[in-house]
Chains A and B, each alone.
Chain A
Amino acid sequence: MTQEAEIREIASQHAGMDGALLPILQAVHERFGYLPPPTTGAVADVLNLSKADVHGVVTFYHDFRTKAAGKHTIRVCRSEACQAVGAEQLAGHARKRLGIGFHETTPDGRYSLDPVYCLGNCACSPAVMIDDKVYGRVTPERFDELVD
């Protein structure tokens, strides 16, 4: 099945939901790890929306990537509670350790690094999330252990 056909199929499966656009985009994102180029046109067509409507939604939400990410996504919290116990130093360390900036992916395709504004782990700061797992009280040394 082509990528576009698969996207159409995912869109059709969810098309009956109330407010289906977000769940569809999330399902496509889940399947491919990002929103491949045919997404906007295919989803717009299935939902009978304009491409502009879909594009507007894709670009509004931070979660949606339009390029493939690394195998693992590392999110470092930069919110106030984490800042209060060294999140900025940790963020600096993470960039240095991985050799990339925020919103970038390591050349070997292993890690993408994103900032996140609160993981709800604010009594165990600083917090880092790797894929779906949250780590608390992360020191630079602990960070190195996690990515080694």
Chain B
Amino acid sequence: MNSSTSRRRIYVPGDTGARSLGADDVAAALVNVTAVADNGYEIERNGTRGLYWLDPLLEVETASDRVAFGPITPADLDTLLTPDGKPNTQHPRHLGNVEDLDALKRQNRLTFERLGRTRPASLDDYRNNGGYAGLGKALAQSPQDVVETVKQSGLRGRGGAAFPTGIKWQTVLDAEGNQKYIVCNADEGDSGTFADRLVMECDPFALIEGMTIAGFATGASKGFIYIRSEYPQAISTMAQAIETATEAGYLGDDVLGSGTSFHIEIRKGAGAYICGEETSLLESLEGKRGTIRFRPPLPAIKGLFGQPTVVNNVISLATVPIILREGAEFYRDFGVGNSRGTLTVQLAGNAARGGLYEVDFGMTLGEVLNDLGGGTLSGRPIKAVQAGGPLGALIPPQHFDTPLDYEAMQTVGGMLGHGGIVVFDDTTDLGALARFSLEFCAIESCGKCTPCRIGAVRGTEVIDRIRAGENADANRILLDDLCDTMIDGSLCGLGGMAPLPVKSVLKHFPEEL
């Protein structure tokens, strides 16, 4: 068949997650499938759709849609196509048109509007699917108007702290400084989170565009992306995208001929969890130990190298382009209360259908866990979930009717954080998990403040005593007291929140300790 009249493609996802499930083997084996070669199919690597229970998810392009098959192993490929080159709808792994998949239709993908639909390295794919329209609109406005749009959208920091992004930008815009900076926090260290990685590996230009808009809006001409070293593929994909964007005039001394200068540099982390805390990250970027800084001054006033600095999470920045493109009202119309727009839920651990679910704020925890996630992978009842990373409370089933909303989650002692939700079934030893949170805190503490540095170590010792039956009642009181000291006395979120899993186990599952 003449490929110029009918370009045909088979997409195989190429992100770390799909590759970890054998996508590279599938892509390699596809080359040798007769029906693929004979019918002129090109094999392309897209990003994952984020439906990891179906990965590797193959998509065969037809004139009108893409037909999905998954999960696929090399052994499934011989019958993927009919002899005349059509997707084989009788194949046991045939899932129908990909956009009709229930798991996608029940989501509202805004930040991740292109996830899996494009080839990550292709600037053309990005532009043909809404990319760079937001930057175009931003450059036609004043920086203050752009900041105003972000404020009006209601976007709050998706890294976990949920601080209003527009207000942070306003502070930096108003601050005096010779060299302002945009720092992207891509040190996604929380267990159960991978949304930042998905942006960087599957839609890297969205982050570049978001940072460029942030730079224009605040008067910052230099951006850094601090990516954790555990993400080698995110680092290489981002580096390639930065090069492509620079060659095409989207980055550099004169962005799209607007007179605005913006450059981005990638820095690699070195395996310290604490560097996801913004002031610690700044210290690390300056080439120092990643110990946290006292606040004030805020980074927005005195940040990187003492200059006004926007520190934003990957998801926050990658959401900015669609807000600029579609307008503040468009984004603000989704969500509930003070949580506007969408939350990029990452369902992980013992979930039957783990993956990325971008949903409007306001959906309940139970709907995500059961309706979308399908309960546990093991098929056993859910005992608890941990939302918001390793420092988040363990939430028992009686609170699964809580809506996903920053404030509502706080009322049940939990937090949304970065949107990661880890599922545990009824075989889990929650006491061990509580101990682990303090053990982890002891390993990762930067050592600057005493409650965290010493408290975490003492806390694990007290839990060991309780679990060994030594003065259990007295030690429970001591543990609770120690947790309060850490929460109230620590300088940052690590020491301040690592006791939350412990407190939640003391409260909801006292017999587990």
Interface positions of A (Cβ within 8 A of B): 18-23, 25-26, 53, 56-57, 60-64, 79-85, 116-125, 127, 129, 132-137
Chain A residues with CB under 8 Å of B270's CB are 22, 25-26, 61-64
Q: Which residue of B lies closest to A22 (CB)?
A: B287
The reply to whether B20 and A121 contact each other, CB–CB distance below 8 Å, is yes
The reply to whether B231 and A120 contact each other, CB–CB distance below 8 Å, is yes
Which of the residues B194, B273, B285 comes within 8 Å of A120, measured between beta carbons? B194
Q: Supply 7 A–B pairs (Cβ within 8 Å), ascending by A.
A: A23-B268, A25-B270, A26-B268, A81-B349, A117-B390, A119-B230, A120-B197
With A85-B349, A117-B273, A122-B354 already in contact, the answer to whether A57 and B287 are too (CB < 8 A) is yes
Chain A residues with CB under 8 Å of B325's CB are none
Chain A residues with CB under 8 Å of B190's CB are 118
B395 at the interface (CB under 8 A from A): no
Chain A residues with CB under 8 Å of B348's CB are 81, 84, 122-123, 125
B188 at the interface (CB under 8 A from A): yes
Kindly provide the distance from the CB of B9 to the nearest chain A CB, expressed in whole angstroms.
25
The reply to whether A120 and B424 contact each other, CB–CB distance below 8 Å, is no
The reply to whether A19 and B285 contact each other, CB–CB distance below 8 Å, is yes
Chain B residues with CB under 8 Å of A120's CB are 16, 188, 193-194, 196-197, 230-231
With A19-B286, A120-B230 already in contact, the answer to whether A60 and B346 are too (CB < 8 A) is no
Q: Which residue of A lies closest to B188 (CB)?
A: A120
B467 at the interface (CB under 8 A from A): no
Chain B residues with CB under 8 Å of A117's CB are 189, 191, 273, 390, 440, 443-444
B422 at the interface (CB under 8 A from A): yes
Kindly provide the distance from the CB of A145 to the nearest chain B CB, expressed in whole angstroms.
12
Chain B residues with CB under 8 Å of A23's CB are 267-268, 287
Main secondary structure of the interface of A (DSSP, over half): loop
Kindly provide the distance from the CB of A57 to the nearest chain B CB, expressed in whole angstroms.
6
CA–CA, A116 and B284, complex, Å: 20
The reply to whether B230 and A129 contact each other, CB–CB distance below 8 Å, is yes
Kindly provide the distance from the CB of A42 to the nearest chain B CB, expressed in whole angstroms.
16
B361 at the interface (CB under 8 A from A): no
Kindly provide the distance from the CB of A45 to the nearest chain B CB, expressed in whole angstroms.
15
With A117-B444, A123-B351 already in contact, the answer to whether A80 and B386 are too (CB < 8 A) is yes
The reply to whether B191 and A123 contact each other, CB–CB distance below 8 Å, is no
With A22-B267, A135-B20 already in contact, the answer to whether A123 and B354 are too (CB < 8 A) is yes
Q: Which residue of B lies closest to A60 (CB)?
A: B289
The reply to whether A124 and B347 contact each other, CB–CB distance below 8 Å, is no
Knowing that A84-B349, A120-B197, A124-B52 touch, tell me 19 more A-B residue pairs with CB under 8 angstroms. Answer: A56-B289, A60-B289, A61-B270, A61-B271, A79-B191, A80-B433, A81-B422, A83-B349, A85-B377, A117-B440, A121-B17, A123-B17, A123-B347, A123-B354, A123-B356, A124-B17, A133-B19, A136-B21, A137-B21
The reply to whether A80 and B19 contact each other, CB–CB distance below 8 Å, is no
CA–CA, A56 and B191, complex, Å: 27
The reply to whether A80 and B193 contact each other, CB–CB distance below 8 Å, is no
Interface size class of B (residues with CB under 8 A): 35 or more
B10 at the interface (CB under 8 A from A): no
Chain A residues with CB under 8 Å of B20's CB are 121, 124, 127, 134-137
Which of the residues B17, B386, B428, B446 comes within 8 Å of A136, measured between beta carbons? B17
Chain B residues with CB under 8 Å of A63's CB are 229, 269-271
CA–CA, A80 and B52, complex, Å: 18
CA–CA, A76 and B240, complex, Å: 28
The reply to whether A125 and B349 contact each other, CB–CB distance below 8 Å, is yes
List which B229-282 residues lie within 8 A (CB) of chain A. 229-233, 267-273
Chain A residues with CB under 8 Å of B428's CB are 84
Which of the residues A20, A60, A81, A133 comes within 8 Å of B191, measured between beta carbons? A81
B436 at the interface (CB under 8 A from A): yes
Chain B residues with CB under 8 Å of A80's CB are 191-192, 349, 386, 390, 422, 433, 436
Kindly provide the distance from the CB of B20 to the nearest chain A CB, expressed in whole angstroms.
3
Q: Which residue of A lies closest to B350 (CB)?
A: A84
The reply to whether B349 and A122 contact each other, CB–CB distance below 8 Å, is yes
Kindly provide the distance from the CB of A114 to the nearest chain B CB, expressed in whole angstroms.
9
Q: Which residue of A lies closest to B51 (CB)?
A: A123
The reply to whether B192 and A132 contact each other, CB–CB distance below 8 Å, is no
The reply to whether A118 and B288 contact each other, CB–CB distance below 8 Å, is no
Chain A residues with CB under 8 Å of B349's CB are 80-85, 122, 125
B420 at the interface (CB under 8 A from A): yes
CA–CA, A53 and B286, complex, Å: 13
B95 at the interface (CB under 8 A from A): no
With A57-B287, A81-B422 already in contact, the answer to whether A62 and B191 are too (CB < 8 A) is no
CA–CA, A48 and B16, complex, Å: 40
With A21-B287, A84-B424, A118-B189 already in contact, the answer to whether A123 and B346 are too (CB < 8 A) is yes
Kindly provide the distance from the CB of A134 to the nearest chain B CB, expressed in whole angstroms.
4
The reply to whether A84 and B197 contact each other, CB–CB distance below 8 Å, is no
Which of the residues B21, B189, B192, B231 comes within 8 Å of A81, measured between beta carbons? B192
CA–CA, A84 and B433, complex, Å: 10
Which of the residues A18, A19, A122, A133 comes within 8 Å of B192, measured between beta carbons? A122
CA–CA, A79 and B350, complex, Å: 13
Kindly provide the distance from the CB of A46 to the nearest chain B CB, expressed in whole angstroms.
13
List which B75-120 residues lie within 8 A (CB) of chain A. none
Most chain A beta-carbon neighbours within 10 Å: one of B354, B425, B446: B354
Which of the residues A56, A62, A81 comes within 8 Å of B271, measured between beta carbons? A62
List which B383-416 residues lie within 8 A (CB) of chain A. 386, 390
Kindly provide the distance from the CB of A116 to the nearest chain B CB, expressed in whole angstroms.
6
B305 at the interface (CB under 8 A from A): yes
Most chain B beta-carbon neighbours within 10 Å: one of A19, A62, A64, A132: A19
Kindly provide the distance from the CB of A15 to the nearest chain B CB, expressed in whole angstroms.
11
CA–CA, A67 and B355, complex, Å: 38
The reply to whether A122 and B422 contact each other, CB–CB distance below 8 Å, is yes
Chain A residues with CB under 8 Å of B423's CB are 84
Which of the residues A19, A21, A60, A122 comes within 8 Å of B194, measured between beta carbons? A122
